[in-house]
Amino acid sequence: MSKAGQDLKRNIKDNPYLLSGAIITGIMVLVIIIGVFWTPYDPTAMNSADKLQGMSLRHPMGTDNMGRDVLSRVMYGSRITLLIAIGTVAIGSVVGTIIGALTGYFGGMFDEVTMRIIDALFAFPSILLALVIVSVFGTGWVQLLISLGIAFVPSYARIVRGEVLRCRNMDYVENARLQGVSNLRMIFVHILPNIKGVMASSIMIGFNNAVLAEAGLSYLGVGSQPPYASLGKMLSDAQQYMFTTPSYVLCPGIVIVLMVLGFAFLGEGISRWK
């Protein structure tokens, strides 16, 4: 086995967080991919004769208050939740990285003004900031994705700025500067690749936070709208039936917990990578 393969095997063996996160997340992603092509029932098909049934062979997770199969809706809703999380982290990390890298590298008045704006936005909880933005864009899962993405920008900007400040006076940066490397090449070719470990861990934590934020906002009714399902919206619809049909609440809730745990373990595992 090559040295790289041995190092990978040792890291996985000594890093149970990474292995656990990869297994949990992998299973969740596999179920979501299967749900794209097949679900036991139409997630939006209502059947008044099957309302609020418990777990059975016919409906492994029971049915909801409109007779829809909960398993099918969980498979569909997990896809919506994951897509929103991916979009949120993509917008937040890309825009935040650009802002943080430019302010950290150039400094001066540009840094002061930009970071004061970032600090003002960062002072608001991300869910509250997203609610304000949603009030402008309107409700729906696309609007929620954009709103959460904007709300996540300040945290990524602060992380990247701090790392760029730490790296910008290191020897390899000074050597590149003496060779006449342009500022943009310095930032995106020499500095940012050297903070990829911190960014990878931050992105996994971002997925964790995005799943929770999506679930919370959809629970409040500003995310996916009927007939589309998301895990947070399912929890909101199920709360009044939690004692009569507990599977209706427990199943989407457990899936949210597993998603969050998977991304949390991956983030911790990446941060411990040697």
Predicted TM-score (pTM) of the model is: 0.84
The token pair at 55 is 């777990």
- Coil/strand/helix, residue 63: strand
In the predicted model, residues of the chain with pLDDT beneath 70 are: 1-14, 223-227, 272-274
Sequence-distant (6+) residues with CB within 8 A of 213 are 88, 126, 127, 130, 148, 151
Distance CA 215, CA 217 (A): 6
Residue 1 has a pLDDT of 52
Distances (CA, A) of 36 to 26, 31, 42, 68: 15, 9, 12, 17
Domains of the chain (ranges plus CATH)?
A: 14-36+68-269 (1.10.3720.10)
Residue 6 has a pLDDT of 54
* Tens digit of each residue's pLDDT (9 = 90 or more) over 13-62: 667 778 888 888 899 889 889 888 888 888 888 887 788 888 888 888 88
The token pair at 125 is 């909880």
Residue 7 has a pLDDT of 54
Residue 10 has a pLDDT of 60
* Tens digit of each residue's pLDDT (9 = 90 or more) over 248-264: 888 888 888 898 888 88
Residue 95 has a pLDDT of 92
